[in-house]
Amino acid sequence: MGVKDILKRVFTKEKKIVILGLDSSGKTTLVSFLQNGTFIEHTPTMGKELSTVDVSGVRINLMDMGGQKDFRDLWLGEVAHAECVIFMIDAYARERFNEAKDELWKLAPILKRTPLIVLANKYDLQPVAQPSEIIAALNLTKLPSFEILPISCKTGYGIVKAFMKIYYKLTGKPLAKRISPKAITIFDQGGIPLTSSSNEDILQGGLFAAINSFVKESFHSELNQLKMSGNVIILKRSKHLMGSIVISDQDNIDPKEAEEGLNELLCHLEHMCPELAREQLDTGKIEYLVEQYASNIL
């Protein structure tokens, strides 16, 4: 499963989700990442503290806190009916941790009966606060229960994983058997691997790309799935790149899901690397982006 699908799996239509946090913590960006599968820069909407959006049929209420506004009368009722409280914090903005703590603690009466999930955002920036630092700064251990999950709404780091944990916290059941792909490799259009190939599975991906090029040249047709020595190798092309994903034959995963995830990764890379259109290739950047996004696949 990919980023665009995760909300639908975790929440049903009837279940209310409320995401709160200081302005600029990344709430709107998270929603847009879930909608588009990638990061879209947008100008923060000033003075619009409350908004409701629909993502894959799931309704999300977003709420900006702080700035002396007291929302309690306005929204406490809404929040009280939520299945869980998602509190977002900019893990890079240490100077606002105190303010974030004050706002979070206004929710303390609700948190006695509603689980709290803290999303520590902006993990693509350095030096970002580690979860232990945020736990201390927000005094989280004094609350009845909490879960803190690091994410980045820019690179996609940890997003699917965070929602799978939220599901587990809410239901006590794991969302799905989660199997990590044995290898994800990105190639240029000619089949040259761009991400490092340190183990044989990745080389198999490379071999597959070579076979694929051969098939394309000889038969003018596209090969997109291959079974080889206990592995399924899936290949997908985007405008300027190719990607392959290797999964074990025994893992019992629907290759369609893996393909969907791979497709989202390629779209994200194309979107984050506009230089590809100018035939410029920054291998280090692609490697970093793949590493950050990889856990969202499957």
Ligand X SMILES: Nc1nc2c(ncn2[C@@H]2O[C@H](COP(=O)(O)OP(=O)(O)O)[C@@H](O)[C@H]2O)c(=O)[nH]1
Nearest CB to ligand X, comparing residues 122 and 236: 122
If one asks whether residue 121 binds ligand X (CB under 6 A), the answer comes out as yes
Find which of ligand X, Mg ion, none residue 122 binds, CB within 5 to 8 Å per kind. Answer: ligand X
Nearest CB to ligand X, comparing residues 96 and 154: 154
Scanning 16-24, 100-108, 112-120, 160-168 for contacts with ligand X by CB under 6 A, the matching segment is 16-24
Find which of ligand X, Mg ion, none residue 25 binds, CB within 5 to 8 Å per kind. Answer: ligand X
Find which of Mg ion, ligand X, none residue 124 binds, CB within 5 to 8 Å per kind. Answer: ligand X
Select from 25, 28, 292, 296 the one that contacts Mg ion (CB under 5 A): 28
Instruction: Lay out the site mask for ligand X across 166-205 (x = CB under 6 A, - = otherwise).
Output: ----------------------------------------
Nearest CB to ligand X, comparing residues 88 and 209: 88
Nearest CB to ligand X, comparing residues 26 and 191: 26
Find which of Mg ion, ligand X, none residue 259 binds, CB within 5 to 8 Å per kind. Answer: none
If one asks whether residue 44 binds ligand X (CB under 6 A), the answer comes out as yes
Q: What is the 3-state secondary structure (H, E, C) of the chain?
A: CCHHHHHHHHCCCCCCEEEEEECCCCHHHHHHHHHHCCCCCCCCCCCCCEEEEEECCEEEEEEEECCCCCCHHHHHHHHHCCCEEEEEEECCCHHHHHHHHHHHHCCHHHHCCCCEEEEEECCCCCCCCCHHHHHHHCCHHHCCCCEEEECCCCCCCCHHHHHHHHHHHHHCCCCCCCCCCCEEEEEECCCCECCCCCCHHHHHHHHHHHHHHHHHHHHCCCCCEEEECCEEEEEEECCCEEEEEEEEHHHCCCHHHHHHHHHHHHHHHHHHCHHHHHCCCCHHHHHHHHHHHHHHCC
Point out which residues bind ligand X (CB under 6 A): 21, 23-29, 41, 44, 64, 121-122, 124-125, 152-154
